[in-house]
Amino acid sequence: MIKKYFLLFLLTAFSLLLKAQAYASFNGSGVYKQDFGKTSDAGWPYLNASTTNGALWNPSSWYAGWYTYMNSPDANSGTYYFNSTQNVVSGTDLTNTGGFYMYTINGGTGLLLGTRPSNITAGGASTDTCNCDGDAGTTSHGSHPDVQIGIALGLCLKNPNVIAVKSINVQFDWYQLSTAEDGGQDNCNYFDYLVTTSATGVPALDLTTYTNVPALNYCGPDIDGSCCTAQTASLPGTVFKHFNQCIAPPGGIPAGGYIMLRWWDPNDAEDDPHFAIDNIQVTKYSDNACLVALPIGLTSFNAIYNSQTQVVNLTWSTSSEVNNKFFTIEKTKDAQVWETVSTVAGAGNSAQTINYQSTDESPYTGTSYYRLKQTDYDGNYTYSDYQVVTIEPITSGLLLAPNPASNSTTITFNSIEAGNATICIYDLTGRTVDTKNTNLAKGYNTLTIYTSNYANGLYFLSMNNLMQQLSAKLIINHN
């Protein structure tokens, strides 16, 4: 008898645990956050081909309330098939296989959750022009044509309140991680939601009654690879976008009810790229129907490189601020590892325009991304969209133009500090032909040398200051 009750207790506890895992919860401040952790603590979805509303992530202690769904089995016969964790590094190709993935970028440990739809050929004509989305040809899988497979990720959140949630603010990053042979068409992913009551329970992912939110749809740029051989060339964190949108479902989310957020990737007629999402933040509001008093009214945010001073000037303006403690400027090269540039105090509460500025004294060479993080006094935060800055590598020598020269030449060079410098010109025998002293600014400098009195021939120029010694050859030709 004791054993019987003990087993009954275990079954009851297990059923309650499963029920608790079916949805995610807001924290005490009404915010849900998910960054999918690191490679050391990743969870994986299990296979459940008979579950029409999608497979619950398992073990869901990491990703409670997350679901996966494909509307037809993929080439691996797994309706909710998890393929692998892939490291997205420049110059490599990702797998063609359709399904679900965890991604890392450039060897980092931070995880992104992603998908790739795929055609499966069961004989007949392929709808995939390249016929390389996991296909083996038009006659290798039986007697019916390709199936267009849609693939979805879902997050189910429950309203724990005794009153309706009138609106939610949704933020996330959407990444395109590979190229695709797409016939010159943009590759688009879609964001939908569906609200159900407590009696109905967790919404299914395959229903057609979802409401699309156009402001949260992502259409990646047209980045074509070649058929089969280069359709999955990696884009290691270089193509992505931050989204921030308020949603007010008609009637709100009822007390004890659910909202399923669905990130949906349809199977395109040609090849599909790898997509991923990260940095999910959902905030609920019970007192407003999308007329939410956002922490700040951000009217502008700009990041501009100054080649003379070799710094990135960062400016932003707010039209209003509510409970705003401080701003943080962050930068990255791969959208995964973010570095803090500076922190600037906010105004707290303000109803007038305020202009802010900061400077990145040590910007990255090449392409980098800047974002503005705003933090409230209660610890909640929001992100701006990204600003892109591209800095060409600094030339380490002296550039002369024209060269050969006749009457004059202009010297262009980069000085790593401001101060005095000496420019000397020597002939082939080592004799000093001319010497000039000049004051340099930090960054790029130009100086004109008049050469009409120089004889034809080869000369050597050198520029010296306390930190640098640069040199170049100059040819004089008066013919």
- In this structure, the answer to whether residues 139 and 276 fall within a common structural domain is yes
- In this structure, the answer to whether residues 166 and 248 fall within a common structural domain is yes
pLDDT (0 to 100) of residue 430: 86
Cβ-proximal residues to 199 (8 Å cutoff; 6+ apart), any chain: none
Residue 3 lies in a domain: no
Which residue matches tokens 């042979």?
A: 181
* CA-CA-CA-CA dihedral for 156, 159, 160, 164, to nearest 10: -170
Residue 265 lies in a domain: yes
Say if CB 221 and CB 85 are below 8 A apart. no
Say if CB 108 and CB 89 are below 8 A apart. no
Q: Domain span at residue 28?
A: 20-285
Residue-level pLDDT, tens digit, the chain, 479 residues: 444 444 443 333 333 333 435 888 888 778 899 888 776 655 555 444 334 445 555 445 567 888 887 765 544 444 455 677 888 888 777 877 777 888 888 888 888 888 877 654 333 333 444 544 443 333 222 222 233 447 888 899 999 887 889 889 899 999 988 877 666 666 788 999 999 998 888 888 777 889 999 999 988 776 665 555 556 778 888 888 889 888 999 989 998 999 999 998 877 666 678 889 999 999 888 766 564 456 788 888 999 998 777 789 999 999 888 889 999 999 988 777 889 999 999 999 888 999 999 999 888 888 888 989 999 888 888 888 788 898 876 656 788 888 899 899 988 888 877 888 888 999 888 889 899 888 888 777 888 889 888 999 999 988 888 778 888 889 999 88
Among 247, 261, 253, smallest CA distance to 168 is for 247
- In this structure, the answer to whether residues 159 and 263 fall within a common structural domain is yes
- CATH number of 424's domain: 2.60.40.2550
- In this structure, the answer to whether residues 363 and 407 fall within a common structural domain is no
Check: pTM over 0.75? Answer yes or no.
Answer: no
- In this structure, the answer to whether residues 123 and 228 fall within a common structural domain is yes
Residue 138 lies in a domain: yes
- In this structure, the answer to whether residues 228 and 281 fall within a common structural domain is yes
Cβ-proximal residues to 12 (8 Å cutoff; 6+ apart), any chain: none
- In this structure, the answer to whether residues 274 and 323 fall within a common structural domain is no
- In this structure, the answer to whether residues 248 and 217 fall within a common structural domain is yes
- In this structure, the answer to whether residues 91 and 161 fall within a common structural domain is yes
Among 466, 463, 457, smallest CA distance to 412 is for 463
- CATH number of 323's domain: 2.70.50.50
Say if CB 137 and CB 124 are below 8 A apart. no
Say if CB 34 and CB 280 are below 8 A apart. yes
Q: How far apart are CA 82 and CA 47, in angstroms?
A: 8
Picking from 263, 285, 307, the residue at the C-terminal end of a domain is 285
Domains held by the chain: number:
3
